[in-house]
Amino acid sequence: MANVITTTDVFYDTFDHRAFLTVQPRSKLHKICRIHSIHGYSKWPVCSLVVTIMKLPDIDSIIASLIAGKRDSLVDDEDKKAIAAFRYKH
């Protein structure tokens, strides 16, 4: 069974959605706006994009997909180099 973030999780209750969305690249925020058919977003400042995205009914799944997509960046660069070097030893 896959791990699913629910609103009863302690981590999720203390998670700052606004701060997390604010540090996302504009391209990811623009992609969310395109998917949800929000118009005129390309000229908006980041804070307006974040507020609009936070009002969407599926904000929980949006946050979960952004976190899931960021998993590869949670691995240290040193570990990535070791994994890459290990491929060539065998």
Instruction: Residue 81: give the domain boundaries.
Output: 17-87
- Whether 3 has a pLDDT exceeding 60, the answer reads no
Q: Could you report the per-residue pLDDT of 43-57, keeping only the tens digit for each? A: 999 999 999 999 999
For residues 49-77, one letter each, b for 16 or more C-beta atoms within 10 angstroms of the residue's C-beta and e for the rest, the string is: bbebbeeeeeeeebbeeeeeeeeeeeeee
Q: Is the pTM of this model over 0.75?
A: no
> With DSSP H G I counted as helix, E B as strand and the rest as coil, what are the percentages for the chain, rounded to 5?
65, 0, 35
Residue 8 belongs to a domain: no
Q: Give the confidence band of 60 by pLDDT, cuts at 50, 70, 90.
A: confident
| Domain count across the chain | 1
Residue 4 belongs to a domain: no
Which pLDDT belongs to residue 64? 84
